[in-house]
Amino acid sequence: MNKRRQNAGFSLVEVMCAILILGVAMVGLTTGITTALGSGKESELQTAAALIAAGQIEMVRADGILVDGVEEGEGAEGLSLYRWQRTITTTPVEGLHEVAVTVNHAKSGKAIYELRTLLFEPASDTALDKRPTQKESKKSRKGDRKN
């Protein structure tokens, strides 16, 4: 009966090996979870910065006035973690401007996102401005019908 009692249960070495294996596995899991959380936060920063940059380019496009220069500002309410810098430069092609927006982290100054695009501003004396208005085109159509 004594031998049976000695064989029952786990030895100290077996228990220590099991704890070591569990410890190594837990370290790996903890590292993986921490990395995943960090990646999620970085992704959130990138997405917000991309939206700010796209918004700044759309504001320039909506204004329709492309003046060379640099302009800076902060993100809108709730996005004060970000600062943006918008640069408009003329290209060698007449009427074509490059618009670049860089979004930085407000505290560290680290660039998070940069977006560049080309916008065209036609000269005011182009053929597009000399097209007939809707009224003028209706009058010319009526005159064509009489003939």
Please give the helix or strand (H or E) that residue 38 lies within, else none: helix 12-63
Q: Is residue 137 part of a domain?
A: no
The model's pLDDT over 34-56, given as tens digits with 9 standing for 90+, comes to 888 878 888 888 898 999 999 99
Nearest to 54 by CA among 29, 86, 25: 86
CATH number of the domain that residue 63 is part of:
3.30.1300.30
pTM equals: 0.61
User: For residue 18, is it within any domain?
Assistant: yes
Tens digits of residue pLDDT in 71-96: 999 877 766 789 999 999 999 999 89
Position 82 in a domain = yes
Q: Is residue 133 one of the residues assigned to a domain? A: no
